[in-house]
Chain A
Amino acid sequence: MSENGSGSDAPAISSKRDQAGTNHRLVAVAEIRHRRHAARPTKYAHDEIRDVMGPWLDVADFTLDAAGHFLTWSAAAQRAYGYSAGEAIGRHLSLVYDDEHRAEAERLLVTARRFGFRRDVVQRQRRDGTPVAFQARLVAFAPPDGKGAGYAEIDVPAGDGEEDPRDIAADRLIRLAAHELRAPLGVVLGALTLLDLQLGDGQGREGVGPDAELLAVARDELRQMDELLSRILDSWRTKQAALTVQTALCDLREILESALRPVPPQGRVEVEAPACPLPLQCDSLRIRQVVRNLVANAVKYSPLGSPIVLRVEDLGDRLRVSVLDRGIGIAEDEMSRIFERHYRGRQQPAVDPGGMGLGLHVCRTIVEAHGGLIWAECRDGGGACLSFELPRWSGVLRV
């Protein structure tokens, strides 16, 4: 059966790995990865690569000082907004807003300063007065000595406002590269296998001796490459898998209880929450997934048996959930990056915790779909605190 239940009934080849690590595929039940809505892959990729790279080639970028005045202004920014560098530098960010949205400039800066990073669709105005929408990514720099504090922003066209075109482009590029690399890899692997067999004893067994050893090394390396590409494609598929958010009125306490029911065995999770019900408009399954991911993350990066606290704060129109641990912590410059897809912090436990670096990315996706925010902080005395805030009465956005 296909993954999405719409596949063919034909037998296909599924794979499994035996104890020796050999990859076998068995003629069995069909399991081809159908992508009903995926762009049709092509072997003749040059045009597609050029197409894919388009959104990366014309990115407006500028930097701001701590007060929000332009310090630098790129040629792409000039094309995007119509102001020359001479006209923009020294002016405040509000320059690129119309009167109605001018206050948004300060709000964007404040949010970026608070969280270190802000990604948002912004409605702005060109020099000629025409409106323009961008996906803005604003990073705040705040060195301890205060020198060089400010912001850097990159803008890409907002498209339909549903997804950053650069993310779409990156997805397509990953899929394309992985697909185009895997095909020749299979040919080279097959050719080496044939050579190996020719070095054998003529009975279909693989060869022996120094030459066969070299071939074996080459084949092992190729298999590792193939495994890596396979994982990349898997993660792409994960991203493509449609997540839906269906909100209803829930009690956050019940969601937390449900999330902690299968408590990780080595975890010691202590809950600090108000005793009263905590009504919240949300997708309870998705928020439970966020809590589980955050707790699992804390367990993963904490010493065995180390205490983990799950704290809930009622902020009136918002609810904040924090997971605090005493683990290895997060480097200051990685606070926002840990929510990126595939990102794994530099600080890793002695024992590799594994994983694809998707858990926290999924958390951010879900939280943002609820109109919320998620962020990480270091704790005094060591460890990390990962928090998310949800508006109590959010509408359905998107994932």
Chain B
Amino acid sequence: MNVLVVDDSPGIGLVLTRYFARLGHSCTHAPDGMAALEKLRTSPLPDVIFVDLLMPGLSGQELVCELQHHPDLGRVPVVLMSGFEAAEEDLPPSGSYQAILVKPFELQELDAVLEAATSWDVSSRD
């Protein structure tokens, strides 16, 4: 499985990349929304994208909205990562993401998320 992690925390990027690699997945880390778009334009489509909500520059909300404008990118499952106090206005529109992972989380929780991601049908996304 190809995973893209978008988070401005280098620590989160490193830990998640290493963990997904241990599970046998290929993982790329983008430090912000613009870098993520660049990777998505130039690399094969990931199977799932983990997006931090609060990032400088292009926020997670803006990135997910941007993905919706591309037919291919819009079909990639999105998991939002957020501190517990994410405000309503920080979230992208309902239906543009499949799950929210509340920080901090245990790495093993990602196993269930990845497993679920394979079954998510996002073809009907608006």
Give chain A's interface residues, CB within 8 Å of chain B. Answer: 6-13, 15, 23-27, 30, 32-36, 38, 40-44, 175, 179, 182-191, 193-194, 197, 204, 226, 233
Q: How far is the CB of B126 from chain A (nearest CB, A)?
A: 12
Cβ-defined contact, A12 with B107, below 8 A: no
Residue with the greatest number of chain B CB neighbours at <10 A, chosen from A10, A23, A24, A197: A10
Interface of A is mostly: mixed
Contact B18 A194 (CB under 8 A): yes
Q: How far is the CB of B42 from chain A (nearest CB, A)?
A: 27
User: Cβ of A35 and Cβ of B99 under 8 Å apart?
Assistant: no
**Chain B interface, number of residues (Cβ within 8 angstroms):** 40
Contact B109 A13 (CB under 8 A): yes
Could you list which residues of chain B lie within 8 angstroms of chain A, going by C-beta atoms? 8-9, 11-12, 14-16, 18-19, 22, 54, 56, 82-91, 94-95, 97-109, 112-113, 116
In the complex, what's the smallest C-beta–C-beta distance from A74 to chain B, in angstroms?
Answer: 36
Q: A182, B103: Cβ atoms under 8 Å?
A: yes
Enumerate the 3 nearest inter-chain pairs by beta-carbon distance, A residue then B residue, closest first.
A186-B104, A187-B11, A12-B100
The answer to whether A13 and B113 touch across the interface, beta carbons within 8 angstroms, is: yes
Decide yes or no: A187 and B12 within 8 Å by CB, A36-B87, A233-B85 being known contacts: yes
Say which residue of B15, B84, B89, B95 sits within 8 Å of A190 (CB atoms): B15
The answer to whether B85 and A41 touch across the interface, beta carbons within 8 angstroms, is yes
Contact A193 B99 (CB under 8 A): no
- How many Å from the CB of B56 to the closest CB on chain A? 8
The answer for the CA separation of A6 and B88 in the assembled complex, in Å, is 8
Cα A383 to Cα B111 in complex, Å, equals 54
Residue of B nearest to A204 (CB): B22
Asked whether, in the complex, the Cβ of B83 is within 8 Å of the Cβ of A27, the reply is: no
